Amino acid sequence: MERVDLLVIGGGSAGMAAALQAKKEGVKDILILEKEDRLGGILNQCIHNGFGLTEFKEELSGPEYLQRFADQVIAEKIPYKLNTMVTNLSKNKVVTYSNSEDGIKQIQAKAVIMATGCYERNAGAIQLAGDRPSGIITAGTAQKYLNIHGYLVGKKIVILGSGDIGLIMARRLTLEGAKVICVSEINPYSAGLNRNIAQCLKDFDIPLYLSRTVSKVIGKNRVEKVVLTAVDQNYNFIPNTDMEIECDTLILSIGLVPYIELLEKIDCPTSSTKGAKVNSLMETEIDGVFACGNCLHVHDVVDFVTDEGRLAGHGAALYINDKFKDENVIKVNPGNNVSYVVPQTVNMDVDENVTFKFRVRKPLINQRLTIKSGENLLFKQVKPVLIPSEMVMISVPLEKLKEAKEEITLSLEDN
C-alpha cells in the first residue's frame, strides 16, 4: 500500500493552511485530497468582499483570498488531487479515495487532517410544512448557481433564516434583478453579522422579520406562496399572525453543520458543535487524526479558519516528528451561557498559549468572562456585548494555564 506522512482531506481554506504549516515545520511527504475541480473550497463561490482583514490587512473577495494560499501550495510543490472523493478513513489511518484516474485506491497515512468543511441544513432538518414544489433551495446552492454558473434561482424570493449566507444572497439576488420580499428569522435576534444586516438588508430596504418562520409552503409545481407565522419564546406558533406571501422561491439559510461523516463511521467522539472533540493541538480522540476549520466548528470569518488550519498543521507536524504530547490533558467545559468551547481538552505538557474559541447561547450585555480551574481563577475579562453569531476568542497566557490542576470551565456572569 502506498504511504504518506500527512494526508489532508479537503483543499479549502483550512486544509491549505494546515498543509502549508506542516510543510513549513519539516513534513515533506504531504498529500491533499479535494473533491471539487479546484482548490479553495467554498470560497470559490463567496465572491463578496470582506475576507483577509486579519490575515492580510486588506479586504479581499473569497476567490482572491483562496488564490493566495493556492499559489503557495503550488509554489511549495505540495501534491494535491482534485475531483477526488474520500470514501473511508480507518482508525489506523488508512484512507480510501476514488477519482477517475486512480480508480479506488487506499493509502496509509502517519497523520490525517480533516478539513472537510460543513454542509447546510435543509428543509427536512426543520420539518418544513406544506407542499414540496420546486423552488425551495438552500442559500449556498443558490449562491453556487449564481456565482459559479450564472443562473438566477428565482425572481420573487423569500429567505428563511438570517445567517450570513442568506443575507449576502439577499443583496446579490437584488442586485441581479430579483425581488427579495423579506428575510424571516425564527429567533428574536439575527443569526448574521450586524454589518451584513446593514449592508445587505437596510441598504436595499429588505425587511427582516424576527420571531417569525414559515408555517406552510404552498405550490403545485413551483412555489406559489409561503405562510409566515409569528412564534412565541418557546417557538410555538401564535394564532392569527399568518402573513401569506406570494413568491416563486424560498431560500433557506438556517444553519451549517460540520461535515464529519468519515469520523462518525469510526465512532470519533463529538461535542456540542457537532464536530469532533479536539485537544489544544486540534487532535481528535482518534490517535493521529486532526480536525480544523468548519468541520470542527462553524466559523464566521475565514481568517480564523486559516489560523486553526495552521494549528492543526502544527499539531500534525509534531505528531509525525514524534514530538507530540497528549498524556496529560485537562478537560474544558462550557459554563453558564456558553454554548461550546473549542478545544475540549488542553495538552498540559505543551509549552504554548491556548486560544479558547466559544459562542454564547443568547445575546448578552456587560458580562464578566471567567476561566476557572476548580476555584482557581485563571483569567477574567469584561465583555460589553456578546452575540451568538460572533465567535469569541480568548488567549490565555501559558503561565496562567499551567496553574490549572483540574477541569477548566469558561463561564459568563452579569458584571
Closest contact distance (angstroms) between CB of 156 and other proteins is: 18
3-state class of 241 per DSSP?
Answer: coil
Identified binder of other proteins from the candidate list 4, 7, 12, 48, rule CB under 8 A: 48
281 to 310, contacts with other proteins by CB under 8 A?
Answer: 300-301
Could you give the CA distance from residue 226 to residue 249 in angstroms, rounded to a whole number? Answer: 9
Stretch that binds other proteins, among 62-70, 218-226, 256-264, 365-373 (CB under 8 A): 62-70
Cβ distance 251 to 169 under 8 Å? yes
Identified binder of other proteins from the candidate list 63, 133, 255, 388, rule CB under 8 A: 63
For residue 175, state whether it binds other proteins (rule: CB under 8 A).
yes
Q: Which of 155, 156, 203 is nearest to 182 (CA)?
A: 156
Closest contact distance (angstroms) between CB of 295 and other proteins is: 21
Closest contact distance (angstroms) between CB of 287 and other proteins is: 36
Q: DSSP class of residue 176?
A: T
Identified binder of other proteins from the candidate list 61, 90, 96, 241, rule CB under 8 A: 61
Identified binder of other proteins from the candidate list 24, 25, 49, 227, rule CB under 8 A: 49
Compare residues 151 and 235 and give the one whose CB is closer to other proteins.
Answer: 151
For residue 393, state whether it binds other proteins (rule: CB under 8 A).
no
Cβ distance 21 to 45 under 8 Å? no
Cβ distance 191 to 163 under 8 Å? yes
Amino acid present at 253: S
Could you give the CA distance from residue 220 to residue 288 in angstroms, rounded to a whole number? Answer: 52
Identified binder of other proteins from the candidate list 147, 213, 270, 284, rule CB under 8 A: 147
**Please, is 145 exposed, middle or buried when counting C-beta atoms within 10 Å of its C-beta (0-12, 13-18, 19+)?**
middle
Could you give the CA distance from residue 208 to residue 311 in angstroms, rounded to a whole number? Answer: 38
Could you give the CA distance from residue 186 to residue 398 in angstroms, rounded to a whole number? Answer: 41
Identified binder of other proteins from the candidate list 24, 25, 53, 81, rule CB under 8 A: 53
For residue 197, state whether it binds other proteins (rule: CB under 8 A).
yes
Closest contact distance (angstroms) between CB of 59 and other proteins is: 8
Compare residues 53 and 245 and give the one whose CB is closer to other proteins.
Answer: 53
Identified binder of other proteins from the candidate list 74, 148, 365, 377, rule CB under 8 A: 148
DSSP secondary structure, 60-74, as one string: EEHHHHHHHHHHHHH
Stretch that binds other proteins, among 105-113, 140-148, 218-226, 264-272 (CB under 8 A): 140-148
Ramachandran sector of residue 70 (left: φ over 0; alpha: ψ -120 to 50; beta: rest) = alpha
Closest contact distance (angstroms) between CB of 205 and other proteins is: 12
Identified binder of other proteins from the candidate list 11, 15, 50, 140, rule CB under 8 A: 50
For residue 72, state whether it binds other proteins (rule: CB under 8 A).
no
Closest contact distance (angstroms) between CB of 149 and other proteins is: 5
17 to 46, contacts with other proteins by CB under 8 A?
Answer: 44
For residue 58, state whether it binds other proteins (rule: CB under 8 A).
no
Compare residues 204 and 235 and give the one whose CB is closer to other proteins.
Answer: 204
Stretch that binds other proteins, among 56-64, 79-87, 98-106, 110-118 (CB under 8 A): 56-64
Q: Which three cell numbers stand for residue 89?
A: 478513513
Cα radius of gyration (the chain): 22
For residue 195, state whether it binds other proteins (rule: CB under 8 A).
yes
Total residues interacting with other proteins, rule: CB under 8 A: 33
Could you give the CA distance from residue 312 to residue 181 in angstroms, rounded to a whole number? Answer: 43
Q: Which three cell numbers stand for residue 2?
A: 502506498
My answer on whether omega of the bond before 63 falls inside 30° of 0, hence cis, is: no
| Beta strand ranges found along 70-205 (DSSP E) | 80-81, 85-89, 94-99, 103-114, 118-120, 136-138, 156-160, 179-184
Could you give the CA distance from residue 132 to residue 221 in angstroms, rounded to a whole number? Answer: 8
CB-based contacts of 352, cutoff 8 Å, min separation 6: 280, 398
For residue 365, state whether it binds other proteins (rule: CB under 8 A).
no
Q: Which three cell numbers stand for residue 356?
A: 479558547
Site for other proteins, rule CB under 8 A: 44, 47-50, 53, 59-64, 67, 146-151, 175-177, 193-199, 203, 300-301, 385
